[in-house]
Amino acid sequence: MSHQPIKFYQTGTFTVGNRLLAPEERSVQADMRRSNSLNSGHRACQGCGEALGARYAIDAAMDAAGGQLIAANATGCLEVFSTPYPETSWQIPWIHSLFGNAAAVATGIAAALKVKGRSDVRVVAQGGDGGTTDIGFGCLSGMFERNDDVLYLCYDNEAYMNTGVQRSSATPPAARTATTPALGNEPGNVLGQGKYLPAIAMAHGIPYVATATVAELRDLEAKVRRAMQMRGARYIHIYVPCPLGWGHASHDTIRVARLAKETGLFPVFEALYGELAGVSKIRRKLPVEEYLKPQRRFAHLFSPTPRPEMISRIQGIADRNIRRYGLLDAEGAQP
């Protein structure tokens, strides 16, 4: 496939304001020389947060690597919508791994490059939350503890979307999925702790761990850039709403992502060698209902029987995140 350079209309709305910024602050997306790693023509749903997050993350990584980047990609929506063989929207060296071994494949690529003395070529691995927190967790933990020179990008849409919206260990409490129906006294996903991979990654003491969201795309680019300046195992957990699986309007992807952050349900931070190093503060704290209401996966919390007790337990999770990560300023922006 021949490489298609970026077209002006693909630089998006950042382009104009971008010119007013210092060169080092400009968005990679608004640059006519960006690599256009995930080109148009793929089959993601309208408003897909994963497609958006991946385009920003991989273009930023490509930019930071001077165009010398190889990606290993787990099975999942990102692979299926981008690469219906024999076609592909990727314009980078891109390897489809199995569902559960993207981290191991990336480790192998990094090892081979080391043997060949090619320190100029960088490696990323990427996958959905199912491929990362569930089936690929063992490979990923191994990659962390060996401190392999790979940046792992997890696109968290909080379920197995590619195969029809089944629960993963990143699915939030009370969410309805194909395997957690809205039935019984506590409808939807079990109200437990779930598996919060950013904290588990931090516990490995690796050089860099960050969370990011498509609601703050400049922050996502900056974090990818920072991660690419480092060597060893690095992990970025990116929050990517899925209109199909979450049941929100496709034009609400960014709004839902912003509400996740502003309620405290998705803390945005970075950590160096296992220590918290920076937090993106909540600008105006909002109650969790504001986040839950636009999504049909939580509709059973409001009707036909309102479930205030379940909502207040979800509020408790948000409040714990706010305390744990210091998401409010001392003056505490109030709801």
Ligand X SMILES: Cc1ncc(C[n+]2csc(CCOP(=O)(O)OP(=O)(O)O)c2C)c(N)n1
**What's at 257, amino acid-wise?**
A
Identify which range of 91-99, 243-251, 291-299, 321-329 contacts ligand SF4 by CB under 6 A.
Answer: 243-251
Tell me which stretch binds ligand SF4 (CB under 6 A): 43-51, 213-221, 254-262, 310-318: 43-51
Cross-strand partners of 127? 154
Compute how many other C-beta atoms are within 10 angstroms of the C-beta atom of residue 76: 25
**38 lies in the site for ligand SF4, by CB under 6 A:** no
Token digits of residue 229: 């300046």
Identify residue 315 by its one-letter amino acid code: Q
Residue 314, both tokens:
């979800």
What binding mask, one character per residue, do residues 36-65 give for ligand X by CB under 6 A, x or -? --------------x---------------
| Residue 245 sits in the site that holds ligand SF4 (CB under 6 A) | yes
- Binders in 133-162 for ligand X, by CB under 6 A: 157, 160-162
Please give the structure tokens belonging to residue 115. 């043997």
How many chain residues bind ligand X (CB under 6 A)? 18
- Considering only residues 232 to 261 of the shown chain, the ones binding ligand X according to CB under 6 A are none
CB of 255 to ligand SF4, least distance (A): 15
Per CB under 6 A, the segment of 125-133, 184-192, 260-268, 272-280 that binds ligand X is 125-133
Among 77, 105, 140, 282, binds ligand SF4 (CB under 6 A): 77
CB of 112 to ligand SF4, least distance (A): 31
| Residue 291 half-sphere exposure toward CB, CA atoms < 13 A | 21
Instruction: Candidates 244, 272, 279, 328: give the one binding ligand SF4 (CB under 6 A).
Output: 244
| Least CB distance to ligand X at residue 150 (A) | 18
CA nearest to 308, candidates 322, 292, 324: 292
Residue closest to ligand X when measured from CB atoms: 128
Site membership for ligand X, residue 76 (CB under 6 A): yes
160 touches, from ligand SF4, ligand X, none (C-beta below 5 to 8 Å by class): ligand X
Write down the residue that tokens 């919508």 correspond to.
81
Chain residues in the site for ligand SF4 (CB under 6 A)? 44-45, 48, 50, 77, 81, 157, 161, 242-245
